[in-house]
Amino acid sequence: MSEMTQVVAQPQSAMAQSQEDKAVRTFTVLPPVDIVEDASGVTLWADLPGVTRDKLDVSVHDGNLRIEAEAVVPMPSGLRVQHAEIRQPHFARAFSLSPDLDVTKIEANLQDGVLRLTIPRREEARPRRIAISVA
């Protein structure tokens, strides 16, 4: 993880704190995201290492885009963990979307731990060239 990645500890119940050796602490990680905007829309890349398609949820509601995922970190059988800073990180990130974007046409692709979302601009919101006539 880079030094820019933020980690937030989820509060534990009193029972979980007393049985900390049995409980696995849950952390929410804000994944690093790159966003590029052009005339056709917005492309977003989110780093989600260890996340598989079945553990990823991308949703849009009321103009808000939400990304949630859980990483699967395989642990070889027969080994005991001596130190693990984050065992099963939970990724979460949310964005407010401009009304100029067409949320019905979002395309998502997950490859090698990188989620790419392509959000096109609505046709009426795209820049267009105005023809000038000479009188």
Residue 123 has pLDDT above 90, yes or no: no
Question: Does some domain include residue 31?
Answer: yes
For the chain, the straight-line distance linking the first and the last C-alpha, in angstroms and rounded, comes to 63
Question: Does some domain include residue 132?
Answer: no
Question: Does some domain include residue 22?
Answer: yes
pLDDT band, residue 24 (cuts 50/70/90): low
Question: Does some domain include residue 1?
Answer: no
Domain span holding position 109? 6-125
71, 55 Cβ separation under 8 angstroms = yes
Sheet holding 33-38, edge to edge: 33-38, 41-47, 114-120, 107-111
CA 12: distance to chain centroid?
24
Question: Does some domain include residue 131?
Answer: no
d(CA 102, CA 100): 7
Question: Does some domain include residue 33?
Answer: yes
Residue 7 has pLDDT above 70, yes or no: no
Total domains in the chain come to 1
pLDDT in tens, 51-109: 999 999 999 999 999 999 998 877 788 888 788 776 778 999 999 999 999 999 999 99
In the predicted model, what is the mean pLDDT of residues 6-11?
A: 44
Task: Look up the CATH number of the domain holding residue 16.
Answer: 2.60.40.790
Question: Does some domain include residue 82?
Answer: yes
Report the predicted TM-score, pTM, of the whole model to 2 decimal places.
0.70
pLDDT of residue 65: 96
